[in-house]
Amino acid sequence: MLRLYWARNDGMSGHVFLSPLESSALEREMVLQAMQFPKLRPDMHITATEIDEALESADPEPISLDDRKLWSDWLSFLQGASTNGGVLVR
Protein backbone atom coordinates (compact mmCIF):
# COMPACT_ATOMS: atom_id res chain seq x y z
CA MET A 1 0.00 0.00 0.00
CA LEU A 2 1.23 3.50 -0.83
CA ARG A 3 0.59 6.34 1.57
CA LEU A 4 0.61 9.79 -0.01
CA TYR A 5 0.57 13.07 1.90
CA TRP A 6 0.56 16.70 0.93
CA ALA A 7 3.99 18.05 1.88
CA ARG A 8 2.16 20.53 4.14
CA ASN A 9 -0.80 18.85 5.77
CA ASP A 10 -2.54 19.22 9.09
CA GLY A 11 -2.80 15.51 9.86
CA MET A 12 -6.56 15.57 9.27
CA SER A 13 -6.65 16.16 5.52
CA GLY A 14 -4.24 15.98 2.65
CA HIS A 15 -3.56 12.28 2.52
CA VAL A 16 -4.61 9.20 0.57
CA PHE A 17 -3.79 5.52 0.86
CA LEU A 18 -3.68 3.58 -2.41
CA SER A 19 -3.78 -0.17 -2.82
CA PRO A 20 -1.51 -1.63 -5.51
CA LEU A 21 -4.54 -2.03 -7.80
CA GLU A 22 -5.64 1.59 -7.32
CA SER A 23 -2.12 2.88 -7.82
CA SER A 24 -1.71 0.86 -11.01
CA ALA A 25 -5.09 1.98 -12.38
CA LEU A 26 -4.33 5.65 -11.68
CA GLU A 27 -0.90 5.40 -13.26
CA ARG A 28 -2.42 3.83 -16.41
CA GLU A 29 -5.03 6.58 -16.62
CA MET A 30 -2.41 9.30 -16.21
CA VAL A 31 -0.35 7.79 -19.05
CA LEU A 32 -3.44 7.67 -21.30
CA GLN A 33 -4.16 11.31 -20.51
CA ALA A 34 -0.54 12.25 -21.31
CA MET A 35 0.00 13.50 -17.78
CA GLN A 36 3.75 13.74 -17.19
CA PHE A 37 3.76 12.27 -13.69
CA PRO A 38 6.47 10.14 -12.06
CA LYS A 39 5.82 6.51 -11.20
CA LEU A 40 4.69 6.37 -7.58
CA ARG A 41 7.19 4.73 -5.28
CA PRO A 42 7.99 5.06 -1.57
CA ASP A 43 10.33 7.76 -0.28
CA MET A 44 9.81 10.30 -3.01
CA HIS A 45 8.70 13.91 -3.12
CA ILE A 46 6.69 15.03 -6.14
CA THR A 47 6.96 18.80 -6.31
CA ALA A 48 4.09 21.23 -6.75
CA THR A 49 5.59 22.21 -10.11
CA GLU A 50 5.52 18.59 -11.31
CA ILE A 51 1.91 18.31 -10.17
CA ASP A 52 0.89 21.55 -11.91
CA GLU A 53 2.47 20.36 -15.15
CA ALA A 54 0.67 17.01 -14.93
CA LEU A 55 -2.69 18.65 -14.17
CA GLU A 56 -2.45 20.80 -17.31
CA SER A 57 -3.35 17.80 -19.47
CA ALA A 58 -5.74 16.11 -17.03
CA ASP A 59 -9.33 15.66 -18.11
CA PRO A 60 -12.01 15.20 -15.45
CA GLU A 61 -13.44 12.33 -17.51
CA PRO A 62 -11.35 9.16 -17.29
CA ILE A 63 -10.44 7.37 -20.51
CA SER A 64 -10.14 3.80 -19.24
CA LEU A 65 -10.70 3.94 -15.49
CA ASP A 66 -14.09 2.50 -14.57
CA ASP A 67 -14.07 4.06 -11.11
CA ARG A 68 -14.96 7.70 -11.86
CA LYS A 69 -14.97 8.60 -8.16
CA LEU A 70 -11.41 7.34 -7.74
CA TRP A 71 -10.32 9.55 -10.65
CA SER A 72 -12.21 12.57 -9.37
CA ASP A 73 -10.82 12.10 -5.87
CA TRP A 74 -7.30 11.70 -7.28
CA LEU A 75 -7.51 14.93 -9.26
CA SER A 76 -8.87 16.76 -6.20
CA PHE A 77 -6.01 15.40 -4.10
CA LEU A 78 -3.47 16.56 -6.70
CA GLN A 79 -5.05 20.02 -6.89
CA GLY A 80 -4.73 20.32 -3.12
CA ALA A 81 -1.14 19.11 -3.26
CA SER A 82 -0.39 21.78 -5.83
CA THR A 83 -1.01 24.48 -3.21
CA ASN A 84 0.44 22.52 -0.29
CA GLY A 85 4.02 21.83 -1.34
CA GLY A 86 3.56 18.73 -3.45
CA VAL A 87 3.20 15.07 -2.48
CA LEU A 88 5.29 12.91 -0.18
CA VAL A 89 5.05 9.17 -0.92
CA ARG A 90 5.60 6.70 1.91
What pLDDT sits at residue 65? 96
Asked if residue 71 lies in contact with residue 29, where contact means CB atoms within 8 angstroms, the answer is yes
Phi, psi of 62 (to 5 degrees): -70, 150
What pLDDT sits at residue 28? 97
Low-confidence ranges of the chain (pLDDT < 70): none
Asked if residue 71 lies in contact with residue 32, where contact means CB atoms within 8 angstroms, the answer is no
Q: What pLDDT digit, counting tens, does each position of 58-81 carry?
A: 999 999 999 999 999 999 999 999
Element (H, E) at 4: strand 2-6
What pLDDT sits at residue 11? 80
Asked whether the CA dihedral 38, 32, 18, 24 is positive or negative, the reply is: negative
What pLDDT sits at residue 12? 85
What pLDDT sits at residue 10? 80
